Amino acid sequence: MAGYEFLTTWLLDAPREDVWDAIWESEEWPQWWRGVVEAAEVDPGTPCGVGRRGRYQWRSRIPYPIRFEIISTVVERPVLLVGEATGELEGLGRWRFFEQDGATAVLYEWSVRTTKPWMNAIAPLAAPAFRWNHDRVMGWGGEGLARHLGCRLLASS
């Protein structure tokens, strides 16, 4: 399987709790995050959210939808959210939230591998396109989140 490591950062002029809530309420992502075709809660998990399972489908510049599920393994509101992905992507996603002077920094680490044989076969040549695609989708996420919260996106990378 081909593996990928991504790090995305957003800096938003918004309180951390508001940013956390928007990320936690992933079933609403299709309303504001371009590229999210489906986001559905499959299982709510425990009262604190550990074990919450969501089903996702993404489509972007590469004309192939990516489908996977994520189960929340660590939920420490409003500072840390960790989930394990299974499906066409397998691995770990980690959201971290930091606030200072009313601005929130979001760090998203995504360590995944592809499971489709055709994706693994073309990975040596397609990896730069897959990375570019991921960065574009995450850029759309930061822009959409700022619009959704009615705040400024101060930085995105």
- CATH number of the domain to which 61 belongs: 3.30.530.20
Q: Distance from first CA to last CA of the chain, Å, rounded?
A: 26
Q: Does the pLDDT at position 127 exceed 90?
A: no
pLDDT digits (tens, 9 = 90+) for 60-73: 888 889 999 999 99
Which residue range forms the structural domain that includes residue 119? 3-156
% of residues, the chain, pLDDT over 70: 99
Number of Cβ atoms within 10 Å of the Cβ of 50: 14
Nearest to 10 by CA among 1, 19, 18, 21: 19
Q: Tens digits of per-residue pLDDT, 16-36?
A: 999 999 999 999 999 999 999
Structural domain count, the chain:
1
